[in-house]
Structure 1
């Protein structure tokens, strides 16, 4: 959420930031709403002040036995009592209009973020490792998994429809091993505190991290059974919506909102949190994209990293978070590259984002890089939406800065491992760091 005071003081800079995002100038329309809101507030405050003053004057007039003045003042107070609710309603309406307008505007990019319209404007930051060579024709993960009899999309479709998968035996254990390895790495070596958060959250929590209102159709929603019986009319549908809970699309939602509507002590910062959770994305706007295999699933597992910090430390924390996510892939000995996202490809709440793209040799001729992690610094954008602040040594509360990153997506790590470590006979070698989590197994075969 943007600060209207800052827009008021830096309108040209605000519009310049929106232009880099591919948006038209909005400061004039926002400031017009703000002016109407401020005028409504002033009118309401003046009416309240006059009512208080007139009430005091009534007592003085009665004390002076000036009945005519007392009667006139009482009539004035009565009139104010009648009109003040309208003024208060106008103030609330103007407040809501401004809040609604601000809620739909994305965060502004930092100066160093490259300009661009889409992913083609992203800039390579650095590369780790190199592509492996194989003495045989590499296969995509879904062909490998199906041939092993350990990856079943047809069974999943019978249960849940498209974009779900059933993993069995060795692949099921390998996915679990990957998640546990990541979680252990981030908690034991990187200083993140493990959290087991709720998977179902309220609308205001989704709003806090930016999933609402813009991406409402991309979420899955859980509805209480008792509310379904009231959904036969317009009022019923509103009740249905008000009683719903959202399935988290990422643990960022739950973890970041742990500080919502609170003031933490500066000594508690940086607060570094991690969680291994299922995630759910309807991705209504992504129809037809990456429909083959496990690349884009409605349900997937991810290790999330979240940092809550001070404004002065957030940029350094961003680089640290990226390094933590990279270490996962380095230990797995996977080839990857880091991209700095351009202004047209960043997420709604981000000021700057690094994407880690892992090389998958089974994705087309010569393989392809696919996103496995995004690490973003959001400034105070989410904090304002959540009202999350910290208290400095001077005693004054200030908005925290929030960061989030995948540390990393477990399903995509599984894909990268399957394709990178595939053997000529169709089996999958297990990376060294994962073997302790696999009971010492060094290879995934149809039997294990």
Structure 2
């Protein structure tokens, strides 16, 4: 969400950034709408001042015995009251229209974000780890899971339709182990506060982080006007909505393990086999609430936190900087971590770490009191720490054996009761 005053003062930079993100140059239209709002507000103030003055003059006219003047003034006050009511309604209408336009515009990228239209223009940041040399033709996760009789897509389809899965036995426990391991690392090593969040939220909460109104079709909506969260970024970030925190409370660092839900409206025909793109999935999320001076460095720290998870699991990955055209709506800069999947013989996204500046804070009205006692909007950041389902896929494919068993990474064995291998 943008400050119209900032747009007025930086119209050229605003238009340039919006064009780079695939939107139209709209500063002139927005400023014209705000000019109309300002003019209407001025008319209201003038009318209110005149009504107040006329109301005082009525008493003076009656005191002077000038009933004709008093009646004329009373008629004027009545007319002004009606005009004020109409003006207030028009002002609200203009403000709502301006807000609707502003709320649909994507955030402005940082200066160092690479230009580009889509994922083909993303820039490699760095690579970690060696791809495993398995010595046999690797299988994809769903081939392994179905052969183990612990991954059942047919049963899930009977229950819920496509893009769901039922995990059983040791694979179900492995998924739980991965999530618990991640949360423990973020709490014990990265200084995050663990939070258990609702997975149903109100519309204004989805609006606060930028899911609404633009991406309503990507989420599941209930009959009582709640939304299933697409990520726990939504409730975690909104913990500071409509509040003022002191500067010494920042940064706030949260983590949560939760179910997440996405309609995958734009992914028809993509990743239809297996668990890569599900309507319901589990994810560990990290959210940081910072001041304006530390948000950029905090993103680097969060990226390292997510990388630590994969390093401890011994999973090879690469980090890419998303180009302008591939970034999310609310982000100013995003790093994606892509884990190596031997079964697919490719890297696939497992985490995104984004800084949003004050874009979400303006939508949530979340502020902090600086040391000089001034009020400023907080800066918000979010990052997957990481996607549990995709991490399960990566562990299965990277730790598979020739006979279809899955070796348990050392760091997960305490969560698996000491189990070293999952076999049929």
TM-score (norm 2): 0.99
3-state DSSP class of the match of 1:344? helix
2:284 aligns to what?
Answer: 303
Once the 2 structures are TM-superposed, how far is the Cα of residue 138 of structure 1 from its aligned partner? 0.4
Deviation, 1:62, is 2.8
The corresponding residue for 2:329 is 348
Which position in structure 2 is the counterpart of 1:417? 395
Shift of 1:23: 2.0
2:306/2:384 contact within 8 Å kept: yes
Q: Tell me by how many angstroms 1:22 deviates.
A: 2.0
Which residue, out of 382, 385, 392, partners 2:360? 382
Aligned to 2:298, the other structure's residue is in SS state: helix
The aligned residue for residue 213 of structure 2 is 213
For the aligned residues, what is the CA RMSD?
0.9
Residue aligned with 1:286, SS: coil
Q: Report how far residue 343 of structure 1 moved.
A: 0.3
Aligned to 1:95: 95
> Which residue of the partner structure matches residue 411 of structure 2?
433
Give the corresponding residue for 2:105.
Answer: 105
Q: How far apart are the structure 1 equivalents of 2:19 and 2:217?
A: 26
Q: CA deviation at 1:312?
A: 0.5
Task: Give the aligned partner of residue 121 of structure 1.
Answer: 121
Please state if 1:399 is matched with 2:377: yes
SS of equivalent residue, structure 2 residue 136: coil
Alpha-carbon deviation of 1:55? 1.1
Distance 2:349 2:369 in 1: 37
Of stretches 59-68 and 153-162 in structure 1, the one that deviates more from structure 2 is 59-68
Separation (CA, whole Å) in 2 of partners of 1:170 and 1:74:
83
Rounded Cα–Cα distance in structure 2 between residues aligned with 1:17 and 1:354: 19
SS in 1 for 2:53: helix
> 287-296 or 53-62, which moves further after superposition?
53-62
Q: Which residue of 1 aligns with 2:259?
A: 278
SS class of match (2:371): coil
Matches of 1:58 and 1:25 in 2, distance apart?
Answer: 52
Matched length: 424
SS in 2 for 1:349: coil
1:396-417: CA deviation from partner (whole Å, max 9, x where unpaired): 2110000000000000000000
Corresponding residue of 2:174: 174
8 A contact 2:115–2:121 mirrored in 1: yes
Q: Deviations over 1:345-366 (max 9, x none)?
A: 0000000000000000001xxx
**Distance (whole Å) between structure 1 residues aligned to residue 172 and residue 231 of structure 2:** 21
CA distance in 2, matches of 1:24, 1:214: 16
Partner of 1:153: 153
Separation in 2, partners of 1:255, 1:248: 11
| Alpha-carbon contact 2:23-2:105 (below 8 Å) kept | no
In 1, the alpha carbon distance for the partners of 2:295 and 2:64 equals: 65
Q: Do residues 313 (structure 1) and 313 (structure 2) align?
A: no
Tell me the TM-score normalised to structure 1 length. 0.93
Q: What does the per-residue CA deviation read over 1:122-156, in whole Å, with 9 as the maximum and x for residues that have no partner?
A: 00001101211121110000000001111110111
How far apart are the structure 2 equivalents of 1:408 and 1:354? 13
Q: What's the CA shift string for 1:224-253, capped at 9, x where partnerless?
A: xxxxxxxxxxxxxxxxxxx32100000000
Work out the CA distance in 2 between the residues paired with 1:345 and 1:296.
18
How far off its partner does 1:165 sit? 0.5
Local SS of the residue matching 2:266:
helix
Which ranges in structure 2 are unaligned for 5 or more consecutive residues? Answer: none
Q: Offset of 1:289 from its aligned partner?
A: 1.2
Residue 236 of structure 1 corresponds to none
Q: Distance in 2 between matches of 1:325 and 1:391?
A: 30
Q: Distance in 2 between matches of 1:138 and 1:178?
A: 22
- Find the counterpart in structure 2 of residue 233 from structure 1: none
What per-residue deviation string (whole Å, max 9, x for no partner) do you get for residues 302-337 of structure 1? 000000010001001110000000000000010000
Aligned to 1:408: 386
3-state DSSP of counterpart to 1:305: strand
Alpha-carbon offset, residue 427 of structure 1 = 0.2
- Separation of aligned partners in 1, 2:385 and 2:147: 29
Gaps of 5+ in 1: 224-242
Q: Distance in 2 between matches of 1:385 and 1:4?
A: 13
Could you tell me how far apart the structure 2 residues matched to 1:61 and 1:396 are? 48
Please state how far the C-alpha of 1:61 moved relative to its aligned partner.
2.7
Correspondence for 1:268 among 244, 249, 253 = 249
Secondary structure of the 1:355 match is: strand
How far does the alpha carbon of each residue in 1:97-134 deviate from its partner, in whole angstroms, 9 at most, with x for none? 00000011010111100000000010000110121112
Q: Is the 8 Å Cα contact of residues 150 and 168 (structure 2) preserved in structure 1?
A: yes
Question: Which of 174-183 and 263-272 deviates more?
Answer: 263-272
Name whichever of 21-30 and 411-420 sits farther off. 21-30
